[in-house]
Amino acid sequence: MGRRKQEGNSLRSIYNVDESKRVCLVKNLDGTFGFLEWVFFEGEGGYWGPTRIGAGSRCASLEEALREAKGRVSWLADELSTPAFYQLGWTTLPGLRGLSVSEFRAELTAAPDNDHGVAVEFASEFERDAFLKEAEAEFAARRFTNTADAFDTVKAWAWDRTR
């Protein structure tokens, strides 16, 4: 793919399924939030160009900017309403008080594997990111005696939060 790119002032970029369009949510200099739709052009080595949809938008919150974008960008609402499966991963490290788990991540997957890992479903990137932040907070101070205990505890916690 290779088309994904985070703009410098963008808080979040949301892509359509073939990554030919995206919406970037931004925080404006005046503290308001806005969005801008971009399209990918194949010519000249490929580049992203902005459309006029969302230019100059000013909203009180990021959530309000996303709602406005979903109302004005034809493909965005469908893209965000399609749940996606993510394979969870994390880092397990030894410490003086036991094993710790951190650096939670979620990789988009077409083949969820709950036999050898933890796969969960999220309706949006916002939901996924909020879950990962919550996992970091939940397990920051917890310690485990072995990797099986850590894995089983994280798996049970993740399923409890997503089902």
Give pLDDT tens digits for 73-129.
999 988 877 778 899 999 999 999 999 999 999 988 878 888 888 999 887 778 889
Same domain assignment for residues 89 and 38: no
Residue 79's SS3 state is helix
Same domain, 153 and 87: yes
155 and 128 part of one domain: yes
Q: Identify whether residues 130 and 68 lie together within a single domain.
A: no
118 and 69 co-located in one domain: no
Of 8-12, 45-49, 136-140, the one with minimum mean pLDDT is 8-12
For residue 1, what pLDDT band results from cuts at 50, 70 and 90?
Answer: very low
What pTM, to 2 d.p., does this model score? 0.56
The answer on 95 and 71 residing in a single domain is no
Average pLDDT, the chain: 89
Does residue 95 sit in the same domain as residue 154?
Answer: yes
Query: Given a cut of 60, is residue 67 above it in pLDDT?
Result: yes
In a 13 Å sphere around the CA of 88, the CA atoms on its Cβ side amount to 29
Q: The domain containing residue 59 runs over which residues?
A: 10-79
* 68-71: Cβ within 8 A, 24+ apart: 68/35, 69/23, 69/25, 69/35, 69/37
Q: Which amino acid is at 86?
A: Y
In Å, how far are 26, 41, 121, 131, 139 from 84, measured between CA atoms? Answer: 24, 26, 5, 14, 24
Residue 6 has pLDDT above 60, yes or no: no
Side chain identity at 154, as an amino acid letter?
V
Same domain, 101 and 152: yes
User: What's the CA dihedral at 61, 65, 66, 72 to 10 degrees?
Assistant: 160
Query: Are residue 67 and residue 121 in the same domain, yes or no?
Result: no
What distance in Å separates the CA atoms of residue 28 and residue 90, rounded to the nearest whole number? 33
